[in-house]
Amino acid sequence: MTADAQAAFASYKDEALVAIAAASSEDALETVRVEFLGKKRGRLRDLQALLGKAEADERPMLGKAFNEVRVEVQTAFEARQAALARPQVAAAAVDVTLPGPRPVIGRRHPITRTMDDFKDIVGRMGFSVATGPELEDDHHNFVALNIPPVHPARDPLDNFYLATASVGSGDQAVLMRSQTSTVQIRVMEQTAPPVRIVSLGRCYRPDTIDATHHCMFHQMEGLAVDTDITMADLKTVLKHFATAFLGDDVSVRFRPSFFPFTEPSVEVDVLWRDRWLELGGAGMVDPNVLRQVGYDPDEVTGFAFGLGIERFSMMRYQVTDIRRFFENDYRFLSQF
């Protein structure tokens, strides 16, 4: 009797496991469940009947074997049931036809976008990108740029001085740089001509904050030094740059001006929607500046320009107040 019962348990188990594995849909699996695990007419019930017919001393051992088989088949059934249900859940999760909220994704700040566009445009004209520190010393912010000790540009009311520090061979004033022209000096100090670089970054001035001025803003500095650079090259580069960024319909104007580090110097304006807007300063690098960095002004000439990046962004994105850029208001930033 014991051997018959055990053989019946074994063949029940083998057939049940094969049938469960072969069920390819939830309906097919339900049919298998009714046949092998069903409480009313299932084959499990027949096996249970065998237990009832066994001798009393065989029952504990057979009961244990019966339970093991039942648990194994039940477990296989549940695993198959979960596996058949899973693909439907996955399909629902990736149903691209379902309407739903647009996911919120990050985006580049409009000033960063403008700077990236600038780098693309001047990169096509052969300028590479250089960087310099925002915390500068007196030498790079003033002396090397031909700004003598008594010059009004050094006024503490026009600069963010931080301290006096030991820099190089002696003590110097240290300040947040007021212009990116500092980077021209750093590049020329370290590179022999020819040079063709731009440098984009933050500048700091304690200006009164209004719709077009901020105490922290961005400039793009440009510098080209070679044996035959002329004012015509400067004008061509800036005209090409402005039209590449703003469109063919902009006009560029150069007004005579003064900067201690360029001679002659100009202010650069563009005509945008019937208004002339000042974008920056430019000029031919002053021979004194070239001499300061060890270049020979009889051998090489150069041009430099410094453009306000916010002013370009304001035109391009029609922003009427520079303060919007730095308020971190998500409603403003999410438009770009």
Give the binding site for ligand FA5 (CB under 6 A): 179, 181, 205, 207, 213-214, 217, 219, 221, 259, 262, 265, 278-283, 304-306, 308, 310-311
State the minimum distance, in angstroms, from the CB of residue 215 to ligand FA5. 7
- Judged by CB, which is closer to ligand FA5: 146, or 172? 146
All residues at 6 or more sequence positions from 75 whose CB lies less than 8 Å from its CB, including other chains: none
Closest-approach residue to ligand FA5 (CB): 308
What pairs with residue 306 in β-bridges? 221, 281
State the minimum distance, in angstroms, from the CB of residue 285 to ligand FA5. 8
- Judged by CB, which is closer to ligand FA5: 117, or 207? 207
Cα→Cα distances 37→14, 48, 298, 301, Å: 14, 11, 101, 94
- Judged by CB, which is closer to ligand FA5: 36, or 204? 204
Rounded distance, CA 37 to CA 16, Å? 9
Cα→Cα distances 235→125, 261, 275, Å: 13, 18, 20
- Judged by CB, which is closer to ligand FA5: 70, or 214? 214
| Residue of 241, 130, 238, 126 lying closest to 182 (CA atoms) | 130
Q: Is the separation of the CB atoms in 310 and 214 below 8 Å?
A: yes
The SS3 call for residue 204 is strand
State the minimum distance, in angstroms, from the CB of residue 173 to ligand FA5. 18
Structure tokens at 91: 């399909």
Write out 268-325 in H/E/C secondary structure. EEEEECCEEEEEEEEEEECHHHHHHCCCCCCCCEEEEEEEEHHHHHHHHHCCCCHHHH
State the minimum distance, in angstroms, from the CB of residue 311 to ligand FA5. 4
State the minimum distance, in angstroms, from the CB of residue 320 to ligand FA5. 14
Which strand (E) or helix (H) includes residue 142? none
- Judged by CB, which is closer to ligand FA5: 136, or 221? 221
- Judged by CB, which is closer to ligand FA5: 13, or 311? 311
The SS3 call for residue 250 is coil
Cis before 148 (ω within 30): no
State the minimum distance, in angstroms, from the CB of residue 221 to ligand FA5. 6
Structure tokens at 92: 């629902």
State the minimum distance, in angstroms, from the CB of residue 299 to ligand FA5. 21
Q: How many helices (H) and strands (E) does the chain have?
A: 11, 10
State the minimum distance, in angstroms, from the CB of residue 114 to ligand FA5. 12
- Judged by CB, which is closer to ligand FA5: 207, or 226? 207
- Judged by CB, which is closer to ligand FA5: 62, or 306? 306
